Structure 1
Amino acid sequence: MTHARPLGADGATFLAAVRSGDPARFALITERHRRELQVHCYRMLANYQDAQDMTQETFLRAWNKRESFKGHAALRTWLYRIATNACLDFLEKRNDRTPVPSGLADPGSEVLYLQPYPDRMLPEDPQESVVARETIELAFIVAVQHLPPRQRAVLILRDVLGWPASTAADALELTVASVTSALQRARATMRSQLPDRRLDWRSPATHELSDDERGVVKAYIDAHEQGDLDGLTSLLRDELRFAMLPEMGTVPMTAEDAVGGWVSGGLFQRGHDDWRGTTTTVNRMPAAALYLRAPGDPEYRLFAIAVLHIVDGKIAELTGFDATDEPWLGLPPTL
């Protein structure tokens, strides 16, 4: 929870830092909030690199506006307010940060700027981590992108962070009535985008991978390393939803069509058949980091990240990300 409360030790220390005018002292106090603010920006923007930039922008704005902190609200509330408005300003200027039509038979839309979020950068605060999986999974992040920016901010402040309507209204310079109306519309959109998912993000949620999930990821990696196409096919649900970003959006297909398409595209053919993989997690979801060794190359090089949504022991959704030359996952570039 980040809403207003009486000035505590953290706020008093921060006020002293503000009055001292010492940027190092100021940075030392604000830096402890970096991870949670970065997750907040990621929920708003769905792009890890943009979230990093806006978190840095938040600290710059906080320094420039330091005299405006009077201790009437918690320091975290003040920083979240700045971060939210930095994201809104960013979205106002970037017309490429909205979902685009899928181009498929169904009238859906795709978030082609989506990037995965490395679990190693999630907050260490237990209160934040307990809800992290429900509100950091790719399905949630994608659904949020279908909200207009201000509705997006209202939903995250009210339903994810648990702010009172009055605090959210003050942060966004809206009336309480406007916040309440925006939240109702946002919730309706989220229900349409996440029809089969839990919508109560304020209650505790597990964030540990199950043994079932770990087993499927291992089998998925083994199938790549052994070139076992039948085994790979058997791991996929026949109503698979597949995406490989940023080249294409989500495509529903059968398991056989998915594997057949990968083979016809060159995977598992000569030059693309020497795989190694490691199990990892991004967005609190099971994932496989896939490394490919080209003929004559002594090393396996990071090729792609496959993020898996597993239902009843089968892969129901597979979101692939091109990971070549991408720094945002913190994975070793070679094996």
Structure 2
Amino acid sequence: MLPAAQDTGPVDGRAELIEAFRGELHAHCYRMLGSPHDADDAVQETLVRAWRGLARYEDRGGIRPWLYKIATNRCLTMLARRGHREVPADLSVEATQVQPYPDGRLEWARALTPEARVLAREGVELAFVAALRHLTAAQRAVLLLREVLGFSAREVAGLLDTTVPAVNSALQRARARLDGLRPEASQQRTLRLLGDRAVRELAQRYATAWEQGNVDAIVALLAEDARYSMPPLPVVYQGRLSIRAFLVEVTTARRWRFLPASANGQLTFGTYRWDDDRGSWLAAGLDLLAVRGSAVTEVVSFLTADFPSFGLPTEIAGQPAR
């Protein structure tokens, strides 16, 4: 459960009172919508509506619940406009419908306690956000408001204009639906258990193996049941043998360079392929790695990621590494 950011008390008409919540509202809208760009739209409209409503606002429990009411209902409206679609049972395939989230968006969490910062990062982990898409929009809203943000059932009922029994029922259904879909362990907790040095060494070995075209070294870092996907392509490679065959093809045909990045609280790399015609490295994908123990269990390589939003260049001048 994330703690409440400091509530500034009675509203006095200053826009700063609601602007201070932009960061945590954005993370909430990302969890609801699965897209940082859609979250941008939802938060912007939330803040505009809040600014316009400040004069009529009555302080009944603080400004934070009021803002979450506006933001959540805006997200529900956006989800309703998308319409219903069947969600595949395979979480790796489902991850193709979720976009990566820059860790830079979590700057607001730096003011929280260390434990709360970990919870904030856990809340945007790729597998968790992908799992949320197996819920109805209402179930998703209730689960996030209750279990991530820590609002009471009575508060959530007020935020969603429903009843406490309806909130409890939706939460029960959401929990049941997510059983077996949530990752076994949080990536944040896994990386903390490994320790900074072990995480750096794992990342370095993985990047070096790719840059050297050493397929055996890459495969050695993978769990037996590892997955590899490349959104928006629907293909998913399952298991070491399947992934190895794919790696032989891509490492033989191209040369690669990896730059460390940060997304969804996970090990992340910006990957670049050498282009002879341009004489430079061109952005290829944003790779997010899931780790269990000291093995990589999943790689999701977003082929259409917005590199600048992750602090990465789209092109690197220089010579091929090999």
Deviation digits for residues 248-295 of structure 1 (CA, Å, limit 9, x no counterpart): 16x35222321312443xx2234x22x211222211111121122201
Return closer, same or farther for 1:220/1:107 CA change in 2, 3 Å cut-off. Answer: closer
**Which amino acid counterpart does residue 139 of structure 1 have in structure 2?**
A
Q: Which of the residues 84, 87, 98 maps onto 1:100?
A: 87
Mapping 1:251-270, distance limit 5 Å:
251=236, 253-264=238-249, 267-270=250-253
The one-letter amino acid paired with 2:219 is T
Number of equivalent positions: 307
Query: Which residues in structure 2 correspond to 1:94-173 (within 5 Å)?
Result: 94-95=82-83, 100-101=87-88, 110-122=94-106, 123=108, 124-127=110-113, 128-173=116-161
Q: Of 303, 310, 325, which aligns to 2:284?
A: 303
1:256 partner amino acid: L
Task: Rate the CA distance shift 1:325–1:145 in 2: closer, same or farther, 3 A.
Answer: closer
Going from structure 1 to structure 2, the CA distance change for 1:268 and 1:111 (only over 3 Å counts) comes to closer
- The answer (yes or no) to whether the contact 2:91–2:127 under 8 Å persists in 1 is no
Deviation track 1:64-109 (CA, whole Å, cap 9, x = no partner) reads 332342111211221111111110010010127x56336xxx7996
- Structure 1 counterpart SS, 2:299: strand
**Alpha carbons of structure 1 residues 289 and 260: separation in structure 2 relative to 1, 3 Å:** same
Corresponding position: 1:180 with 2:168: yes
Equivalent pairs: percent with the same residue?
35
Paired residue for 1:293?
274
* Residue 31 in structure 1 maps to residue 19 in structure 2: yes
Q: Which runs of 5+ in 2 are unaligned?
A: 317-322
Q: Distance in 1 between matches of 2:91 and 2:200?
A: 34
Give runs of aligned pairs for residues 1-335 of structure 1, distance below 5 A: 1-2=3-4, 10-12=8-10, 15-17=11-13, 25-26=14-15, 28-95=16-83, 100-101=87-88, 110-122=94-106, 123=108, 124-127=110-113, 128-194=116-182, 196-197=184-185, 210=195, 211-248=197-234, 251=236, 253-264=238-249, 267-270=250-253, 272-273=254-255, 275-323=256-304, 326-335=307-316
Question: Higher helix proportion, which one?
Answer: 2
On the 8 A contact 1:238/1:253 being kept in 2, the answer is no
Residue by residue over 1:207-238, the C-alpha shift from the partner in whole angstroms, topping out at 9 and shown as x without a partner, is 75733333222111101111111111211122
What 5-or-longer segments of structure 1 have no aligned partner?
Answer: 18-24, 199-203
Deviations 1:141-192 (A, max 9, x none): 1111111001100000000111111110000001011101111111111223
* Cα pair distance change 1:219/1:99, threshold 3 Å: farther
Shift of the 206–62 alpha-carbon distance from structure 1 to 2, 3 Å rule, reads: farther
1:291-327 CA distance string (max 9 Å, x none): 2220132332221111111122211111111146555
Once residues 151 and 284 of structure 2 are traced to their aligned partners in structure 1, the CA distance between those partners, rounded to angstroms, is 41
Q: Is the 8 A contact 1:2 1:163 kept in 2?
A: no
The normalised TM-score by structure 2 is 0.86
Q: What secondary structure does 1:56 align onto?
A: helix
* CA–CA distance in structure 2, aligned partners of residues 36 and 99 of structure 1: 29
Contact in 2 for aligned 1:133/1:207 (Cα 8 Å): no
Judge which range, 37-46 or 234-243, deviates more: 234-243
SS of the equivalent of 1:112 reads helix
CA distance 1:294–1:287, change in 2 (3 Å): same
Secondary structure of 1:142's counterpart equals helix
Backbone CA RMSD of aligned residues: 2.6
Q: Given the superposition, is the C-alpha separation of residues 248 and 120 from structure 1 closer, same or farther in structure 2, using an over 3 Å criterion?
A: same
SS at match of 1:117: coil
The amino acid that maps onto 2:251 is F
Could you say if the C-alpha distance between residues 257 and 39 of structure 1 is closer, same or farther in structure 2, counting changes exceeding 3 Å? same
1:37 CA drift (Å): 0.6
